[in-house]
Amino acid sequence: MTLPEKQTGEIGDKERDALYRIIFSRRDVRGQFLADPIEDQVLSRILYAAHYAPSVGFMQPWNFILIRSIEIKEKIHQAFLKAHNEAAEMFSGRKKELYRRFKLEGILESPVNICVTCDTSRSGPVVIGRTHIDTMDRYSSVCAIQNLWLAARAEGLGVGWVSIIDEEKLKTILDIPADVVPVGYLCIGKVSHFWQKPELESAGWLPRLALDKLVDFERWNGQPDLEQSSILHQIKKDADFPMQIQKK
Amino acid sequence: MTLPEKQTGEIGDKERDALYRIIFSRRDVRGQFLADPIEDQVLSRILYAAHYAPSVGFMQPWNFILIRSIEIKEKIHQAFLKAHNEAAEMFSGRKKELYRRFKLEGILESPVNICVTCDTSRSGPVVIGRTHIDTMDRYSSVCAIQNLWLAARAEGLGVGWVSIIDEEKLKTILDIPADVVPVGYLCIGKVSHFWQKPELESAGWLPRLALDKLVDFERWNGQPDLEQSSILHQIKKDADFPMQIQKK
């Protein structure tokens, strides 16, 4: 039996900063799609990024359904519109007005839609790491989506995640079997530009939370002792780090 | 009302390749942790990477519980051991033997554990994009975990996700309230080395699937027409892309 091989070489500071720049520049894109096709080489690379996500028990539960047909897109768009109208009724007053003004998807404008699924039956009923938390397989597919999203941003492509849709309707339109969950429906394409900040933040819907308020110690809501407070101090000091890196 | 600002500057080819290299070099680390502490600057940066993940309706549902106390780690480790023994009984024959030989966590050896949670009640009962698919908030916390995982790899830190644990037990140990889901329990630290391939792959537990078998067209299991088959051709051609980039 041969021993597994170790990785050689390190990730340098410039490569590390590139990752941060991509993470902080990533946006959920809805209104800036161009109709230009995506080159096969680029689409292939971002799919490999997705496929090399972590997966529970190495089950790789994902499939990638590529949708370019206008007929299918129209059906998805109709399902979105129905859910979107239902959603609007759940808000009231100023929030309802504001909600109605948001553009929340680019299904028809983006050249490629991808439905990323999770086949819960893949590799059999017992999966290492899914024995006690049964959502772990869907979480793996989410990791694949996040990898794809970052890779797309690095390639200059926008990605928007459409979640305002009835899941059963989506399964019917795409012939998805009972054991398979459509985890994310993504719109992908070249864009006119990326916004510096998330649109919901710019519109004043919700503010960016302060990271230091979201860090707890040893337990939920646990406060830091003297020694632990140094990391909170560092986090406050780094509040401008994401914007500085993005503009680099 | 001022218009939002656009991003300036592009992501260059070298930055793009850095992202791919980090994605393909990321591993789930269990047995290679060193006891050395993580610098505050580094921990702060990887937490910002997590905090800038996409979140449904910009709700940012995550908290990050930092665990360094040996008492808490011991309790978590006991909960892991109990679940791990239960899990072993679910396999039989050669698989059971093999399962027992795997090291599946580094709770005590890693200097920092982080529990990434999802507060389902954050920002009120109605959340844009969560109106029809109620798991979207937990998926946002998974995106935060994946960002953190990649940032950690870029910083030379290993991350292991412990999912063999009873969720209610975990909530009790960390005082997590009813509305909050502990989405991921992570072990983080410097490492002696990263393996080239996932450990479950090297051990022959499951093979890496061929990506071209996981791409469908227009619908589940949909086969490509002549025009669509060019992307499949490209994917087959790129089969060595992840390993080539990793070794760059």
pLDDT digits (tens, 9 = 90+) for A149-188: 999 999 999 999 999 999 999 999 999 999 999 999 999 9
Task: Nearest chain A residue to B240 by CA: give it.
Answer: A48
To the nearest whole angstrom, how far is the Cα of A36 from the nearest Cα of chain B? 16
Q: Are B218 and A65 within 8 A, CB to CB? A: yes
- Name the residue facing A174 among B22, B163, B219 (closest C-beta): B219
- Name the residue facing B153 among A11, A26, A163 (closest C-beta): A11
pLDDT of amino acid B1 = 53
Contacts of A91 in chain B (CB under 8 A): 126
pLDDT in tens, A185-204: 999 999 999 999 999 999 99
Taking chain B (248 residues) in consecutive chunks of 10 residues, what is each chunk's mean pLDDT?
Answer: 84 98 98 97 98 98 98 98 97 93 97 98 94 97 98 98 98 98 98 97 96 98 93 98 91
CA pair distance A200, A202, nearest whole angstrom: 6
Number of H helices, E strands in chain A: 9, 5
pLDDT of amino acid A110 = 98
To the nearest whole angstrom, how far is the Cα of B106 from the nearest Cα of chain A? 14
Q: Are A8 and B135 within 8 A, CB to CB? A: no
Q: Are A22 and B15 within 8 A, CB to CB? A: yes
pLDDT of amino acid A227 = 84
Coarse DSSP helix, strand, coil percentages of chain A, rounded to the nearest 5 percent: 40, 15, 45
Tokens describing residue B6: 């656009």
DSSP SS3 for A114: strand
Residue A27 has pLDDT above 60, yes or no: yes
Contacts of A56 in chain B (CB under 8 A): 163
Q: Are A177 and B136 within 8 A, CB to CB? A: no
pLDDT of amino acid A9 = 83
Strand partners, A187: A113, A160
Q: Is residue A143 a contact partner of residue A118, using CB atoms and an 8 Å limit?
A: no
Q: What backbone phi and psi angles, to 5 degrees, belong to A63? A: -125, 160
State the average pLDDT over residues A97-112. 96
Contacts of A177 in chain B (CB under 8 A): 220
pLDDT of amino acid B247 = 83
CA pair distance B187, B164, nearest whole angstrom: 13
Q: Residue for token digits 């900063």?
A: A17
State chain A's mean pLDDT as an integer: 96
Radius of gyration of chain A (CA): 21
Contacts of B202 in chain A (CB under 8 A): 4
Q: Are A163 and B56 within 8 A, CB to CB? A: yes
Assign residue A124 a region (left: φ > 0; alpha: ψ between -120 and 50; beta: otherwise): left
pLDDT of amino acid B227 = 84
To the nearest whole angstrom, how far is the Cα of B90 from the nearest Cα of chain A? 7
Mutate to test the interface with B, among A2, A11, A139 (most CBs of B within 10 A): A139
Q: What backbone phi and psi angles, to 5 degrees, belong to B174? A: -100, 10
Q: Residue for token digits 């993504």?
A: A186
Q: Is residue A228 a contact partner of residue A3, using CB atoms and an 8 Å limit?
A: no
Helix or strand run (H / E) with residue A136: helix A136-154
Tokens describing residue B232: 């499949």
- Name the residue facing B40 among A69, A176, A230 (closest C-beta): A230
- Name the residue facing B219 among A65, A196, A206 (closest C-beta): A65
CA pair distance B9, B117, nearest whole angstrom: 34
Contacts of B147 in chain A (CB under 8 A): 23, 146, 150
pLDDT of amino acid A1 = 53
pLDDT in tens, B199-216: 999 999 999 999 999 999
Q: How far apart are the first and last CA of chain B?
A: 48
- Name the residue facing B11 among A149, A154, A216 (closest C-beta): A154
pLDDT in tens, A198-225: 999 999 999 999 999 999 999 999 999 9
CA pair distance B213, B197, nearest whole angstrom: 20
Mutate to test the interface with A, among B44, B86, B196 (most CBs of A within 10 A): B44
Angle (CA) A19-B59-A97 rounded to 5° is: 120
- Name the residue facing B19 among A86, A154, A238 (closest C-beta): A154
Task: Nearest chain A residue to B222 by CA: give it.
Answer: A65
Residue A102 confidence class, pLDDT cut points 50, 70, 90:
very high
